[in-house]
Structure 1
């Protein structure tokens, strides 16, 4: 790592401790303690100016990690996803601001590089949560919004496998898809009625719902000018990574990123589902996919074929 790279990492305040091996209760306690320790300095910290909002299981972690390697892009002082506007909305803006770098550290990077700094976070539930677009627009109306869309059939099945592996899903894929309407019944109304509510079914079990992209995109377009929203296809990120990163960096108003390697993050091998389930999902998503194509130019497989 270059001297500037080491300097930049120290400005972020990232810990060198490997926390992934700690029990969840210990990690939660550690997060609480360090968050409270940053509260007194929140007034001297910056708010983010961009958000990667989803979709879940669409490459948001990979894109975020690629962007963080740019000398003028910084994430939160801890994890990529702060989740203030969805599952942490019971907290206050002081808590939210305390998750980000200090204004002095941002100014130091701007001085060292001669270019502006973009500060952002990546919380993939933001795309699907019905209240998040209005919440962000209400506090940070000039923010830039980045959306990644994966083939909806692949995304839904990958999401199911992800929740199953984490212990949140006891049902088979077919049964989980059949149970989804009941699990999500009344969820959006409840989330609108109670700003602090975390709805378990809406958060974990919306496999088809999160892959029906049209209503999600339209909510964001209702609150942000189209010039503030960049929509990328996950296939572009996977197959034309450099171009996708360059588009994103340009969207953030920054100079081009240096040449880098682009490993994929959070990859998981999963059962792609049987042909009958895939075909049924493809039919279910067809109308939404057509509208997504009109809105963004992104096209998905019409028959739910397994992607290589």
Structure 2
């Protein structure tokens, strides 16, 4: 049985693609060739024990596409991807096959950044792999939400050309079973997400790092991850210190994304205030800088 030893579980648009690529450069680390396989997102169907494809045709509810936070599903929310989104790997045999090529003794990993927000997915990971290690990258939730929206617009997956309108549409979209990539605010409520996570996994199995550190000194972050995974340090890395990021998960700027209107940012930050306070309590770290509009250093 080939299953992962660790997961990069989030957050989306916080640098998980960089981690996936750079961790996979280490000869003792094997990352799934398919990034974001999303196997554990098929929560309801995993619970049923059915073949996922058959269950989807039968209308079995799948928690990844229903209510935010991985709570109980609603009739009609069938496992599916949104417009243009790749569906998750659904069969256990297909998932295990992603790790069959791992060299003997290598640490196996995958990165699906939506796992952090989906408690049902985390619960299924814990049931199958209770000793798995988890890596989490946290980014200013307002910046993350905006970067998420920009990425979706560039990919042609977001019809609303105004960020504020897209955020305002989130509640209705969630009620209509739109999947995680369009839940711009829900994906950034890290306090709630980590509070739930720590009911399943002990802190020593979770590595928290910050997007600002991944951008400012990526080599140091990768070295921390190597130490966390128990692999030899000192491997040459493919990342270098860089300034303001381009598209989330990429290493160089590739588009002139307009700056978020500070007034919109301030309103959204106020909405995150209680969750950021919870995050500080849960992690025993301070995130006060997320409550202040960042300086324009472009």
**SS of residue paired to 1:64:** helix
RMSD (CA atoms): 2.0
**Larger displacement relative to structure 2 (289-298 or 169-178):** 289-298
Distance 2:296 2:225 in 1: 24
Match of 2:74 in 1: none
**Of 265, 272, 276, the match for 1:285:** 272
**Cα–Cα, structure 1 residues 140 and 155, in superposed 2: closer, same or farther, change >3 Å?**
same
Do structure 1's residue 233 and structure 2's residue 189 form an aligned pair?
Answer: no
5 Å matches for 1:15-34?
none
Provide TM-score, normalisation by structure 1. Answer: 0.72
Question: How big is each residue's C-alpha offset from its partner over 1:231-290, in whole Å with a ceiling of 9 and x where there is no partner?
Answer: 110101111212211111111111214132405852554223111111111111112112
Cα deviation, residue 142, structure 1: 0.8
Distance 2:94 2:238 in 1: 34
Distance 2:35 2:172 in 1: 32
5 Å matches for 1:210-225?
210-225=187-202
**SS of residue paired to 1:236:** helix
Do structure 1's residue 163 and structure 2's residue 163 form an aligned pair?
Answer: no
Return 5+ residue gaps in structure 2 as ranges.
47-51, 53-89, 243-248
Distance 2:95 2:238 in 1: 32
Match of 2:174 in 1: 184
Match of 2:225 in 1: 248
**SS of residue paired to 1:148:** strand
Question: How big is each residue's C-alpha offset from its partner over 1:204-254, in whole Å with a ceiling of 9 and x where there is no partner?
Answer: 321111111111112211111111111110101111212211111111111
Match of 2:100 in 1: 101
The 8 Å contact of residues 52 and 147 in structure 1, kept in 2 or not, is answered as yes
Match of 1:83 in 2: 38
**Cα–Cα, structure 1 residues 302 and 268, in superposed 2: closer, same or farther, change >3 Å?**
farther
**Cα–Cα, structure 1 residues 268 and 160, in superposed 2: closer, same or farther, change >3 Å?**
farther
Do structure 1's residue 273 and structure 2's residue 263 form an aligned pair?
Answer: no
The 8 Å contact of residues 35 and 112 in structure 2, kept in 1 or not, is answered as yes
Distance 2:127 2:139 in 1: 28
The 8 Å contact of residues 281 and 304 in structure 1, kept in 2 or not, is answered as no
**Cα–Cα, structure 1 residues 132 and 239, in superposed 2: closer, same or farther, change >3 Å?**
same
Distance 2:123 2:42 in 1: 15
Distance 2:110 2:234 in 1: 18
Cα deviation, residue 173, structure 1: 0.8
Cα deviation, residue 56, structure 1: 0.4
**Cα–Cα, structure 1 residues 235 and 277, in superposed 2: closer, same or farther, change >3 Å?**
same
**SS of residue paired to 1:301:** helix
Q: Which has the larger radius of gyration?
A: 1
The 8 Å contact of residues 192 and 278 in structure 2, kept in 1 or not, is answered as no
Distance 2:27 2:153 in 1: 37
**Larger displacement relative to structure 2 (273-282 or 84-93):** 84-93
Structure ranking higher in helix proportion: 1
**Cα–Cα, structure 1 residues 163 and 87, in superposed 2: closer, same or farther, change >3 Å?**
farther
Return 5+ residue gaps in structure 1 as ranges.
1-42, 111-116, 188-198
Number of aligned positions between the proteins: 240
Distance 2:18 2:295 in 1: 21
The 8 Å contact of residues 191 and 280 in structure 2, kept in 1 or not, is answered as no
Cα deviation, residue 307, structure 1: 6.0
